[in-house]
Structure 1
Amino acid sequence: MLTHAEPINEIAEAPQVDAPAVEVAQPPVGLKGRTHAVLADAATHYKRSLRASPEAIEYLKGRGLTGEVAAYFGLGYARPTWRDLGDVIAAHDDEAVVSSGLLVLQDGDAEGSRFDRFRGRVMFPIRDRSGAVAGFGGRVLDDSDAPKYLNSPEGVTFRKRELLYGLYEAQEAIEAQGLAVVVEGYMDVVSLTQAGFGNAVAACGTACSSEQIAELLDLAPRLVFCFDGDAAGRRAAARALEAALPFATDENSIEFMFLPSQHDPDSLVRARGLAGFNVQLAQALPLAAFLIDHVSQGCKMEYAEGRARCAYVAGPLWLALPDGEAKQTLLNYCADLLNMQANEMRDFWLSAA
């Protein structure tokens, strides 16, 4: 894990930081391996471009990042030109170049119709568990109309349901401490790591999938989902909850933490430091508690109709839970709401399935 980094005046002068001590597998010579090779060369190109871009350097410094953490994650910069990757592409076969997703192909791929997918963006290399670059996420430097984040397209190396940003860097800390924290943004992962919290990962532009949850719980028994405290964060938490339900066994501790509404992990750790983040982490809700809160949302619990609505919403979620404390807690809660015996509530849900 990267420890607290001293400020570095210029990212362009930052020293190279060793990656985690995980052996990087040598890719095979098939299409997947050749695609990894294209992506690796692009990552090197983007890193060099960052060191030569005062604008991108100032952006990262404005976000409070040091050169050390930028080097640790291999951050780079895609210049705002249409064909900046020409030299990178020329060194590889066309099939692998197309497979990499680095180019946009137009007009039936006619001569001269290709151009760089990433332009004018800070680049975040997304690595697989072996350390190979599988794709990129790119963030714009300003508040233009362009999407804030742009990811590589799905392909032979980039499968967003299976990849987690920062997992390659965080996997040793996650295993050692028995804790993984899933945040929403790549910048959140980088900022937390710089602050001294090396257990954070982020999904690649989508809700956390069952494959990603299974991988994290294979590394650590405690999994915490971290969300902004606004309405969008609550909606994202609901999606994560549904994906996590099949994993809510008594052996796993799955929790949900919500930050103050004006903060995301990046802004919180900059404003309050790691101690402030840890305060919020200590207040994370166990899955069963958040599940009850979730099914109660929008239900007027003071009325019989509202309580019945709550139990109706809870039924499919209860069915998705494995046997264990969380399942029993939800059953007892809804049975009490309707003044029913737990076995009656269970039979009702089973008959309605």
Structure 2
Amino acid sequence: MEQACQTYQEALRAEPLVHEYLTLRGITGDSAQFFRLGFVAEPLTGHEDVRGRLAIPYVTPTGVVGFKFRAMPGLSATDTPKYRGLPGAAPRLYNAGTLAYAAGTVAIVEGELDAIVTQQETGIPAVGIPGVDTWKAYMARCFAGLDVYLIPDHDPVNPRSGERPGEKLVKTLTEAISGLVVVRLPEEKDDPTTFVLREGGEALCERLGIGI
């Protein structure tokens, strides 16, 4: 895993279209380096199906334990599915390693790139849940003793269920994490990234009630 992470990090430095994409997503060069983002230019064995994708490593205090790969417009062989994991990979919290050093306040968001933007803009540890249905009951133990803010995506109503997908996550985590504070974003289809790009990082801090 570590070899793959290093290889893809090096490849990202030489791919301007990926840098452009990250900039459009509000992710700085420093954050890309800190979170060890990469690009699959020449896939290692077992990664052939993710050539041309952004590599998002799952890094813990013990090292790299997994990846998520995001399609890159104009670079990936296919844009579907938008995200791919490694075969057989178990659900994990993204950026969970930061909880080992968290001092009081953490944020939970939906998705890896939103976690990067949230931590970058607020300065507080941010953990990503890669999909509403990937939360597992044992994950709640990671947040014991912490003040936890959940920033759910402001999803459109699902015409089949009549519900917003993000509300399922709100209900699940409210039951699982004592004292959870839900911070809602104002506009339809908002997520932390779109909100920050429109309103700025200070506005996100204000919604969380924290200083900058």
Give the TM interval when normalised to the shorter protein.
0.7 to 0.9
Q: Which has the higher contact order (CA 8 A, sep 6+)?
A: 2
In the alignment, structure 1 residue 267 sits paired with structure 2 residue 194: yes
Do the aligned partners of residues 235 and 48 (structure 1) sit closer, same or farther apart at CA in structure 2, a change above 3 Å counting?
same
Aligned mate of 1:193, from 119, 131, 145: 119
- Pairing 1:117-266 to 2, within 5 Å after superposition: 117-128=49-60, 130-142=61-73, 145-154=79-88, 158-160=89-91, 163-172=92-101, 174=102, 176=103, 178-207=104-133, 208-216=135-143, 218-220=144-146, 222-231=147-156, 234-242=164-172, 244-245=174-175, 247=176, 252-260=178-186, 261-266=188-193
Match of 1:96 in 2: none
Query: Matched residues in 2 for 1:244 and 1:262: separation?
Result: 21
- Pairing 1:262-301 to 2, within 5 Å after superposition: 262-282=189-209
Task: Work out whether residues 40 and 133 of structure 1, in 8 Å CA contact, stay in contact via their aligned partners in 2.
Answer: yes
Query: Matched residues in 2 for 1:139 and 1:274: separation?
Result: 24
Question: How far apart are 1:254 and its partner, in Å?
Answer: 1.4
The residue type paired with residue 84 of structure 2 is L
- Pairing 1:36-75 to 2, within 5 Å after superposition: 39-75=1-37
Gaps of 5+ in 2: 158-162
Query: Matched residues in 1 for 2:32 and 2:63: separation?
Result: 18
Gaps of 5+ in 1: 1-38, 90-101, 104-115, 283-353
Match of 2:160 in 1: none
Query: Matched residues in 1 for 2:132 and 2:111: separation?
Result: 10
Task: Work out whether residues 182 and 200 of structure 1, in 8 Å CA contact, stay in contact via their aligned partners in 2.
Answer: yes
Query: Matched residues in 1 for 2:116 and 2:129: separation?
Result: 14
Task: Work out whether residues 56 and 68 of structure 2, in 8 Å CA contact, stay in contact via their aligned partners in 1.
Answer: yes
Structure with the largest fraction of helix: 1
Question: How far apart are 1:201 and its partner, in Å?
Answer: 0.6
The residue type paired with residue 203 of structure 1 is I
Give the % identical residues. 27
Please identify runs of 4+ aligned residues in structure 1 that moved more than 4 A.
none
Per-residue CA deviations over 1:37-56 (Å, capped at 9, x if unaligned) read: xx111001100110121221
TM-score, normalization: structure 2?
Answer: 0.81
Task: Work out whether residues 210 and 244 of structure 1, in 8 Å CA contact, stay in contact via their aligned partners in 2.
Answer: no
CA RMSD of aligned residues (A): 2.4
TM-score, normalization: structure 1?
Answer: 0.51
Bigger radius of gyration, 1 or 2? 1
SS at match of 2:31: helix
Greater CA drift, 69-78 or 47-56: 47-56
Query: Matched residues in 1 for 2:24 and 2:172: separation?
Result: 37
Per-residue CA deviations over 1:188-219 (Å, capped at 9, x if unaligned) read: 11112222433211113343221222212x25
